Amino acid sequence: MRTGRLPAGLCVLGVARRPLGDDGFRAAMRAAVDEFARLRPVEEATWSTLAPRLFYHEGDFGDRESFLGLAARLAKLDSQFNLRGNRLYYLATPPASFAPIAENLAAAGLAHQETAGGFRRIVLEKPFGHDLASALELDAELRRHFHERDTLRIDHYLGKETVQNILVLRFANGILEPLWNQRYVDHVQITVAEDIGVEGRAGYFDSAGILRDIVQNHVLQLLALTAMEAPVAWEADAVRDEKNKVLQAVRPIQPENVARDVIRGQYAPGWSRGTPVPGYLQEPGVPAGSTTETYVALELRIDNWRWAGVPFYLRAGKRLAKRVSEIAIQFKPVPHLLFDAARPPQPNALVLRIQPDEGITLRFVSKLPGPEIDLRSVGMDFRYGTSFGAEPPEAYERLLLDALLGDASLYIRRDTLLRSWELVDPIEEAWARGAGGRPHLYDAGSWGPAAAEALVERGGRAWRRP
């Protein structure tokens, strides 16, 4: 609203069970923007334009009657604000409600657009299923009422500026492409590390684990953007075709290799930001003896011409030493080192810092000043904050605006979703049969289990310490 990008005529109708009323909803929204809006303090002029467009409907997701009331309310708003039948349904609900809500929207005549004139889009928050079979089931249920092109599955990582910049960096600069392949790249490391624990979400997290919570979506998306070919056009399906293609080329880890290629860990008590913190098993709501992983590291291979022979090491974890997400492209060392250096220099690396401290660093070797030739790795640094001065928009600002405008580029398409589950399922199945034993314990506040070091060391490599 404040940046003037919202389409004219927009109204928001909140739907939930609590008896709030329009005024109560407006008060709750005001408190929320006062606390969370990126641009604060909230300007009164902006708020007074938005507030009269916020409405509330009390209703139950499972109750058909509620949806008839909703339809009547929407029809009224439509004529009042000339909305031309356009609807964007944003489901911030438990996933078990997705299908019943779609069903009830349809029963109230609120789904397919053919009958309505305007667009009918549905935006969903993950998880989209628990595995391939449940994702297919959910998809079939949604498909009865919404087209794939109108089904917008959020992966909030794709809304991050730094993530969008991966493709700009790769495809708007000529110097990188010639190097971006197996001839020059030794390996790639993708890290999504968090310092927080499960933060009261044990009910969800314990049935998911970090592989489903972070790797199946965010990390595989980062991999796809890093490894994909150039799309034929800057257009939603052209970009998503290439992402899907590269994920199709990722070699699934066979169950018999899971113990070797995937390391899972679980945090034990330790420290976070100077405070002692409990281990995962001591967190409220975690079942005794849970084997859910809070850390995972794995090695993937991509079977195509660009990436043959290049390991992609992925890791994600909670209660790690710090919050950092990054992609590091590690280049091969020089074929022959002329200099008799006391320490062999670190090969070149290009590090894309997704968050925090958003930026890009190129590491190269330099001469240490002095009478002898001594080598040091130094960094050439780009920082968003310094170069552009302004705070990047929040991921959700971009994603929700795109949903309103009908641009699906940054949303997860069905084929990619299903492929991600195909890559994750064999690992989950092997773990369920006990492959690799219980998760390795690691101290909260550390960089994860020692076994994860061995995963990269066997290839003569080491994890970066971001």
Write down the least CB distance from residue 213 to ligand BG6, Å: 5
Residue nearer to ligand BG6 on the CB measure, 325 or 361: 325
Write down the least CB distance from residue 205 to ligand BG6, Å: 7
Please list the residues that pair with 296 across neighbouring strands: 264, 316
Q: Which ranges of 155-198 does DSSP label H, i.e. alpha helix?
A: 161-171
Q: How many helices (H) and strands (E) does the chain have?
A: 15, 16
Compose the 321-360 pattern: x for residues touching ligand BG6 by CB under 6 A, - for all others.
----x-----------------------------------
3 state DSSP class of 155: coil
Query: Do residues 421 and 131 make contact, with C-beta atoms less than 8 angstroms apart?
Result: yes
Write down the least CB distance from residue 355 to ligand BG6, Å: 6
Closest CA to 68 of 110, 7, 122, 5: 110
Edge-to-edge strand list for the sheet holding 151-153 = 87-91, 120-124, 151-153
Residues 274-313 close enough to bind ligand BG6 by CB under 6 A: none
For ligand BG6, how many residues bind (rule: CB under 6 A)?
3
Write down the least CB distance from residue 106 to ligand BG6, Å: 28
Residue nearer to ligand BG6 on the CB measure, 146 or 157: 157
Residue nearer to ligand BG6 on the CB measure, 311 or 317: 317
Query: Do residues 106 and 144 make contact, with C-beta atoms less than 8 angstroms apart?
Result: yes
The reply on whether position 213 binds ligand BG6 by CB under 6 A is yes
Write down the least CB distance from residue 127 to ligand BG6, Å: 8
Looking up tokens 């773990």 gives 431
Write down the least CB distance from residue 360 to ligand BG6, Å: 18
Strands 349-355 and 324-331: antiparallel
Residue nearer to ligand BG6 on the CB measure, 54 or 321: 321
**Which residue lies nearest ligand BG6, judged by its C-beta?**
213
Largest CA distance in the chain: 84
Query: Do residues 298 and 265 make contact, with C-beta atoms less than 8 angstroms apart?
Result: no
The reply on whether position 425 binds ligand BG6 by CB under 6 A is no
Residue nearer to ligand BG6 on the CB measure, 36 or 433: 36
Q: DSSP assignment of 384-423, as one string?
A: HHHHH-SPPPPHHHHHHHHHHHT--TTSB-HHHHHHHHHH
Identify the residue among 78, 194, 283, 293 touching ligand BG6 (CB under 6 A): 194
Catalytic site positions: 218
Residue nearer to ligand BG6 on the CB measure, 241 or 283: 283
Residues that bind ligand BG6 (CB under 6 A): 194, 213, 325
